[in-house]
């Protein structure tokens, strides 16, 4: 090997200045194949810990690239997205001149069948998916004995519209695909709904869901991409994630990529000052590949948001910061789909969709009850919740 030989790189490092519009079409998102019908242990039965045979720090489902140095956990996020030779070009993120648009060179590849946001999804099918996701959330949390059902159930419809309505360009078989749309769950505590989605999308076996929060599980109490395939951002400390999302969106522009960034947030999180630093910067840089979806359920840990720290008109605040703003019924799948389409069409501005949701939606005794923000259902409550969800039209 000559001294000048480049170090082996897991993915050819693109020179961002040379990047043209990606010529390849987005791969179809395979629908989950229910090859194995996995049912979790019944909540009333004795739960035996799945006791994953896992070496510490290297969970079974952690994705270690084959060329990773032995014995060291390397996350392919770093390998795929931060190759040392990818020079950062500040000129690409610097604020474009007014009227010059968003300064991106790439155009989105033609949508494939599964990726088509122009194709109207079957809303009955989406509603069925949302029901299944809610059922998974309840089962996971019951087995975990702790966690956050309220927001997870409340955002089930929003995230179903996003992930199953053709708005996310992802390839579950290739979680590190550089052109994928990114998803940041900034209100990381509602990760049970994300895990249910990722399992349904086929990122990992559905059985992993029943190990949530246990020692050695690939599913951590808060999202952590070292452990979980399909997670793009480590979150859990409120206020941080949206900034990372903004960075991803700017990163796309800097490298001439056309992926979009979707980020979940909440009214409680909006109390963090950093959110508004992010909002200022995103508008200043005219970032239009960033869409923030806010869980506006009016509840946080200590009670109703209007009593703890009133948020007023969140959408109006974002609007005042220069964002494109929509307010949507967070349980109307059609309205959510339309809002996502409308957001995508916005040029030169970041978009916020304030999703008016009901905490605990779908389980009557949880709905709009602050105590269900972060408390797992016991066996009896689990059985009641499942019965309701299964009986729902």
Partner 1 sequence: MPTAAAKVATREAYGKALAALGDEREDIIVLDADLSGSTKTAVFKKGHPDRFLNMGVAEANMMGVASGLASTGLTAFASSFAMFAAGKAYEQVRQEIALPRANVKICATHAGLTVGEDGASHQVLEDIALMRVLPNMTVIVPADATETEQAVRAVAELQGPAYVRLSRMATPVLFDPATYRFEIGRIATLREGSDVTIAATGVCVCAALEAAELLERDGISARVLNVACVKPLDVETLVLAAKETAGIVTVEEHQRAAGVGSAVAECVSERAPCPVVRLGVDDRFGESGDGAQLLEHFGLGATHIAAAASDLVGRAQ
Positions in the binding site for ligand TPP (CB under 6 A): 150-151, 187, 189-190, 236-239, 266-269, 295, 297, 299-301, 359, 373
CA distance 33 to 380: 31
Contact of residue 359 among partner 1, ligand TPP, none (CB under 5-8 Å per partner type): ligand TPP
Contact set for partner 1, span 166-205 (CB under 8 A): 188
CB of 155 to ligand TPP, least distance (A): 8
Nearest residue (CB) to ligand TPP, 135 versus 359: 359
Nearest residue (CB) to ligand TPP, 250 versus 263: 263
- Helix 156-164 to helix 191-201 angle (10° resolution) is 30
**Part of the chain binding partner 1 (CB under 8 A), chosen from 78-86, 196-204, 207-215, 246-254:** 207-215
Residue 56 lies near partner 1 (rule: CB under 8 A): yes
Contact of residue 144 among ligand TPP, partner 1, none (CB under 5-8 Å per partner type): partner 1
Residue 55 lies near partner 1 (rule: CB under 8 A): no
Residue 47 lies near partner 1 (rule: CB under 8 A): no
Contact of residue 150 among ligand TPP, partner 1, none (CB under 5-8 Å per partner type): ligand TPP
In terms of Cα–Cα distance, which of 285, 301, 237 is closest to 104? 285
Spatial neighbors of 14 by CB under 8 A, at least 6 apart, are 86, 255
Taking CB under 8 A as the criterion, the residue among 154, 175, 239, 264 binding partner 1 is 239
Residue 227 lies near partner 1 (rule: CB under 8 A): yes
CA distance 62 to 55: 11
CB of 285 to partner 1, least distance (A): 23
Contact of residue 216 among ligand TPP, partner 1, none (CB under 5-8 Å per partner type): partner 1
Contact of residue 117 among ligand TPP, partner 1, none (CB under 5-8 Å per partner type): none
CB of 62 to partner 1, least distance (A): 11
Nearest residue (CB) to partner 1, 185 versus 254: 185
| Residues constituting the chain | 393
Contact of residue 178 among partner 1, ligand TPP, none (CB under 5-8 Å per partner type): none
Size of residue set near partner 1 by CB under 8 A: 34
Per the listing, tokens 């019965």 go with 387
Residue 215 lies near partner 1 (rule: CB under 8 A): yes
Q: Give the rounded distance of the alpha carbon of 151 from its chain centre.
A: 13
In terms of Cα–Cα distance, which of 30, 333, 363, 335 is closest to 160? 333
CA distance 64 to 41: 29
Nearest residue (CB) to partner 1, 141 versus 339: 141
Reading the block at residue 376, the tokens are 């797992």
Taking CB under 8 A as the criterion, the residue among 300, 326, 357, 381 binding partner 1 is 300
Taking CB under 8 A as the criterion, the residue among 32, 52, 83, 236 binding partner 1 is 236
CA distance 201 to 197: 6
Residue 217 lies near partner 1 (rule: CB under 8 A): yes
Contact of residue 380 among partner 1, ligand TPP, none (CB under 5-8 Å per partner type): none
Q: Tell me which residues touch partner 1 (CB under 8 A).
A: 56-57, 144-147, 188, 213-217, 219-222, 224, 227, 234-239, 268-269, 271-273, 300-302, 308-309
């Amino acid at each position: 090997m000559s001294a000048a030989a480049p170090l082996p790189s897991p993915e050819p490092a693109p020179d961002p200045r040379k990047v043209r519009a990606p010529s390849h079409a987005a791969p179809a998102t395979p629908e989950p194949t229910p090859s194995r019908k996995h049912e979790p242990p019944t909540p009333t039965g004795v739960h035996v810990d799945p006791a994953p045979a896992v070496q510490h720090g290297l969970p079974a489902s952690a994705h270690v690239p084959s060329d990773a140095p032995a014995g060291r956990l390397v996350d392919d996020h770093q390998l795929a997205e931060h190759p040392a030779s990818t020079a950062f070009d500040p000129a690409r993120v610097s604020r474009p001149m007014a009227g010059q648009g968003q300064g991106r060179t790439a155009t989105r590849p033609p949508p494939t069948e599964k990726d088509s946001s122009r194709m109207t999804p079957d809303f009955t099918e989406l509603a069925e998916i949302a029901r299944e996701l809610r059922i998974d959330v309840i089962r996971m949390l019951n087995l975990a004995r702790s966690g956050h059902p309220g927001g997870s159930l409340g955002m089930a419809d929003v995230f179903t519209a996003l992930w199953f309505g053709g708005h996310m360009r992802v390839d579950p078989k290739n979680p590190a695909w550089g052109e994928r749309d990114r998803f940041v769950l900034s209100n990381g505590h509602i990760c049970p709904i994300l895990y249910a989605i990722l399992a349904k999308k086929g990122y990992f076996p559905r059985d992993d869901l029943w190990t949530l929060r246990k020692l050695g599980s690939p599913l951590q109490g808060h999202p952590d991409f070292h452990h979980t395939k399909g997670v793009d951002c480590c979150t859990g400390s409120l206020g941080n994630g949206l900034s990372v999302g903004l960075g991803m969106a700017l990163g796309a522009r800097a490298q001439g990529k056309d992926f979009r960034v979707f980020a979940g947030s909440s009214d409680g999180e909006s109390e963090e000052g950093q959110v508004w630093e992010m909002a200022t910067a995103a508008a200043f840089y005219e970032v239009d590949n960033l869409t923030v979806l806010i869980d506006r359920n009016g509840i946080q840990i200590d009670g109703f948001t209007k009593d703890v720290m009133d948020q007023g008109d969140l959408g109006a605040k974002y609007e005042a910061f220069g964002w494109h703003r929509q307010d949507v019924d967070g349980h109307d799948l059609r309205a959510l789909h339309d809002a996502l389409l409308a957001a995508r069409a916005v040029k030169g501005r970041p978009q916020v969709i304030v999703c008016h949701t009901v905490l605990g939606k779908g389980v009557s005794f949880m709905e709009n009850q602050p105590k269900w923000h972060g408390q797992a259902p016991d066996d009896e409550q689990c059985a009641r919740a499942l019965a309701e969800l299964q009986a729902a039209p």
